[in-house]
Amino acid sequence: NCKLSFINCEFKSCVFKNGTTSKASFYTCDFLNSKIENLILSSCQMEKIRFINLSSKYFSFTSCYLKDISFIDSLLKEVTFQDNKSENISFSSCQLYENEFFHTSFLGTDFSSSLIEGIRIDLDSIRGATFSREQGLELVKMLGVNIK
């Protein structure tokens, strides 16, 4: 039974495709100008991770421990955050398309500098998060509320 650990690593211009990683640990790692497609991270521990200029599609964080995770200038398409224990996740100037946020706390997360379209959420996950006015209107519409 092998458990992967990555400590103080820099993944630069890497491509991660078509896989599942379970119970791996990532500490103080940077993913720079990298691409992630069809990757599931399950029951992983991630602390002090920066995703900078990441392009991702079908990327899933499931039942992970996420602390001090930053997404900067990144494209996240159909990324799932589900059933995670989380603390201090940030998005800065990102494009978030068709992402899912379920049973993962984004308390204190500021989404206002990012473009958000077609997300699926539960209210508990976004409680205490910050959104721009335009994003707030879209969230209200998702709840079935009509605004004049």
Mean pLDDT value of segment 106-133: 93
d(CA 15, CA 106): 27
pLDDT at 147 over 80: no
pTM as predicted: 0.93
- Report the 10 Å Cβ neighbour count for 16: 17
Quick check: helix, strand or coil at residue 128?
Answer: coil
- The tokens of 108 are what? 């204190």
Task: Report which secondary-structure segment, H or E, holds 141.
Answer: helix 133-142
pLDDT over 90, % of the chain: 86
Q: Which contacts (CB < 8 Å, 24+ apart) does range 79-86 have?
A: 81/125
d(CA 76, CA 95): 6
Letter for the amino acid at 148?
K
Letter for the amino acid at 8?
N
User: CA nearest 71: which of 53, 88, 47?
Assistant: 53
d(CA 56, CA 78): 8
Tell me which of 118 and 29 has the higher pLDDT: 29
| pLDDT interval class at 139 (50, 70, 90) | confident
d(CA 10, CA 61): 20
